[in-house]
Amino acid sequence: MDSQRTAELYGVGLGPGDPGLVTLAAMSVLETAEIIIAPSSHPESMGRAEYIVHTLLPDREVIRIPMQMASGSEGIDRRLHAVRETIRELRPRLTSAAMSAFVTLGDPLLYSTFSLVVEAVVCEQLPIAVRVIPGVPAFLALASLVTTNLLDNDERLHLVPATGDPGHLEHLLEDRESVLVIYKLSSNFAMLRAMIAQAGRQKGAMVGLELGTDRMQVLTLSEAPDKVPYFATIIVPVQRRSA
Amino acid sequence: MDSQRTAELYGVGLGPGDPGLVTLAAMSVLETAEIIIAPSSHPESMGRAEYIVHTLLPDREVIRIPMQMASGSEGIDRRLHAVRETIRELRPRLTSAAMSAFVTLGDPLLYSTFSLVVEAVVCEQLPIAVRVIPGVPAFLALASLVTTNLLDNDERLHLVPATGDPGHLEHLLEDRESVLVIYKLSSNFAMLRAMIAQAGRQKGAMVGLELGTDRMQVLTLSEAPDKVPYFATIIVPVQRRSA
């Protein structure tokens, strides 16, 4: 019976920024979903996820949730507040739709605002089943541009946000048989660069900015400016003896 | 001039096993490439990557490279030998094609046999430019089935192969604000399970087998059998206070 079915909300990973790196499953959800919601850091401007939907499906309406990207727990509280407000407003549409979608850059489960959407759905007690369509993470898009062999044999990979305790980063840099990927860059980029050099790991280290867009830049650590945007990715490669 | 263009060989990531998780860019290469090469662990049977191509494009011819999945450096040598032989045989076709593709599960740069293909192309001095199309890694597909929030805020992720030194694994399990993803499972699964329990990290830990296929199983650590196939993935989640 139609009245028995549960409404579904999909967290849809759109990949690192290039519309070509959207999956077939994500396309299928975008084509079918009755509602598409996208985050944006400014109310007036289209976020990258919305832009990708717009490029692939120009006629689809996208509901924009403005999320201020302020840092710290205050920033998270403010973002959750904005998401709850939108979810509350959309409640009738979300619960009557068979399928709705929240789109996000990269993967919905890797440092994504989708976690706030899920939290809001739980807080507002919406009778909605949450599903996830995984996406290509930004670090693999950067790796595809700068290397032909990121991780092999018994090597390890560590993915860390630059916003965390620098002690962890310093510690992980000592593991020379590992790739270190750094996300969420911010004002501390100059310090990170110094730490990587200090650990003797700067060889082959790369920074990717605005991946998948026309403004994309892929730079060595030394070429990069002292200030880089939040949505930048660093890859510190394994130091291989034979390489 | 046509004679001036360099032949291109694409390493194409097909994602974790579900044809729906192939990207639009990968589809475009598969549709255009003059040659498609896929690895298989047995000469007589279709590997998973070949199966995905076959499902999406039933009429495309796929050249199979049999690769014995023996472990250790002897196994790698034998696989490289098999790849070099195939690349040598295909040399005239590969150098005259504008575009050829080597397809692989997951991402071509994460523990993939694509690194052997690149090595063979270099060893055989083929005048070919190598390109990479990133793919969705298996751990994100497993995460999409078992969690709505894999990594958030300042949390870290460690990706390690079970074939490496257990000391590293033990050490990384101590980092309780991190997700631990374990690939390349083998005969030591029972030991890994014991190590995870010993570190008090078994809560919420999951194993994914045959992801994206009809035979897919997602199990808790305690439900899993003592022997699991090589292509299995473990996720040990962050232990969150509020969760």
Residue B240 in tokens: 């969150």
CB contact under 8 A, B175 and A163: no
pLDDT in tens, A199-230: 999 999 999 998 988 899 999 999 999 888 88
User: Left (φ > 0), alpha (ψ -120 to 50) or beta: where does A139 sit?
Assistant: alpha
CB contact under 8 A, A149 and B20: no
Residue with tokens 């990717």: A208
Using CA atoms, how far apart are residues A59 and A62, in angstroms rounded to an integer? Answer: 9
Using CA atoms, how far apart are residues A15 and B65, in angstroms rounded to an integer? Answer: 30
pLDDT in tens, B33-77: 999 999 998 888 899 999 999 999 999 999 999 887 666 777 788
Using CA atoms, how far apart are residues B81 and B76, in angstroms rounded to an integer? Answer: 8
Find chain B residues with C-beta within 8 A of A143's C-beta: 109, 132, 134
Please check the confidence at residue A179 and state whether its pLDDT lies above 90.
yes
CB contact under 8 A, B20 and A25: yes
Positions of chain B with pLDDT under 50? 1-2, 243
Q: Name which of A63, A59, A55 is nearest A9 in CA terms.
A: A63
Query: Which residue of chain A has the CA closest to B131?
Result: A144
pLDDT at A71: 67
Q: Mention every residue, 6+ apart, whose C-beta is less than 8 A from residue B1.
A: none
Task: State which amino acid sits at residue B185.
Answer: L
CB contact under 8 A, A158 and B156: yes
Nearest to B109 among A114, A130, A140 (CB): A140
Order of strands, edge to edge, in the sheet holding B35-40?
A: B63-66, B35-40, B99-104, B7-13, B128-133
Find chain B residues with C-beta within 8 A of A21's C-beta: 23-25, 134
Nearest CA to CA, how far is B113 from chain A (Å)? 9
Q: Which CATH number fits domain A138-236: 3.30.950.10, 3.40.50.300, 2.40.160.20, 3.20.20.70?
A: 3.30.950.10
Nearest CA to CA, how far is B109 from chain A (Å)? 5
CB contact under 8 A, B144 and A134: yes
Nearest CA to CA, how far is B228 from chain A (Å)? 19
Nearest CA to CA, how far is A161 from chain B (Å)? 6
pLDDT at B243: 45
HEC assignment per residue over chain B? CHHHCCEEEEEEECECCCHHHCEHHHHHHHHHCCEEEEEECCCCCCCHHHHHHHHHCCCCCCEEEECCCCCHHHHHHHHHHHHHHHHHHHHHHHHHCCEEEEEECECCCECCCHHHHHHHHHHCCCCEEEEEECCCCHHHHHHHHHCCCCECCCCEEEEEECCCCHHHHHHHHCCCCEEEEEECCCCCHHHHHHHHHHCCCCCCCEEEECCCCCCCEEEECCCCCCCCCCCEEEEECCCCCCC
Q: Which CATH number fits domain B2-133: 1.10.10.60, 3.40.1010.10, 3.20.20.80, 1.10.1060.10?
A: 3.40.1010.10
CB contact under 8 A, A24 and B20: yes
Domain boundaries, chain A: 2-133, 138-236
Give Cα separations from A79 to A76, A83, A119, B121 (angstroms).
Answer: 5, 6, 11, 49
CB contact under 8 A, A115 and B148: yes
CB contact under 8 A, A135 and B137: no
pLDDT at B4: 60
Residues A173, A175, A180, A186, Cα dihedral to 10°: -20
pLDDT in tens, A104-124: 999 999 999 999 999 999 999
pLDDT at A243: 45
pLDDT at B242: 58
Query: Which residue of chain B has the CA closest to A163?
Result: B154
pLDDT at B186: 76
CB contact under 8 A, A153 and B133: no
The dihedral of CA B170, B172, B174, B178: what is its sign? negative
Nearest to A109 among B134, B135, B144 (CB): B144
The answer to whether A118 and A130 have CB atoms below 8 angstroms apart is yes
Q: Mention every residue, 6+ apart, whose C-beta is less than 8 A from residue A24.
A: B19, B20, B21, B22, B23, B24, B27
Choose from B9, B27, B150, B169 for mutation: most chain A CBs within 10 A. B150
SS3 label, residue A109? coil
In percent, how much of chain A has pLDDT > 90?
Answer: 77
A vs B, Cβ pairs < 8 A, gives: 168
The answer to whether B17 and B138 have CB atoms below 8 angstroms apart is yes
pLDDT in tens, B79-98: 889 899 999 999 999 999 99
Partners of A218 in the beta sheet?
Answer: A208
Nearest to A21 among B23, B130, B172 (CB): B23
Pairing mode of beta strands A232-236, A206-209:
antiparallel
Find chain A residues with C-beta within 8 A of B102's C-beta: none
Using CA atoms, how far apart are residues A33 and A26, in angstroms rounded to an integer? Answer: 10
Q: Name which of A43, A164, A65 is nearest A114 in CA terms.
A: A65
Q: Mention every residue, 6+ apart, whose C-beta is less than 8 A from residue A92.
A: none
pLDDT at A242: 58
Q: Name which of A188, A119, A118, A134 is nearest A16 in CA terms.
A: A134
Using CA atoms, how far apart are residues B181 and B139, in angstroms rounded to an integer? Answer: 7
CB contact under 8 A, A149 and B118: yes
User: Left (φ > 0), alpha (ψ -120 to 50) or beta: where does B134 sit?
Assistant: beta
Find chain B residues with C-beta within 8 A of A15's C-beta: 23
In percent, how much of chain A has pLDDT > 70?
Answer: 95
Using CA atoms, how far apart are residues A109 and A116, in angstroms rounded to an integer? Answer: 11
- Could you tell me the pLDDT band of residue A4, with boundaries at 50, 70 and 90? low
The answer to whether A181 and A233 have CB atoms below 8 angstroms apart is yes
Q: Name which of A154, A156, A150, A158 is nearest B186 in CA terms.
A: A154
Nearest to B161 among A115, A154, A175 (CB): A154
pLDDT at A1: 42
Choose from A130, A142, A158, A180 for mutation: most chain B CBs within 10 A. A158
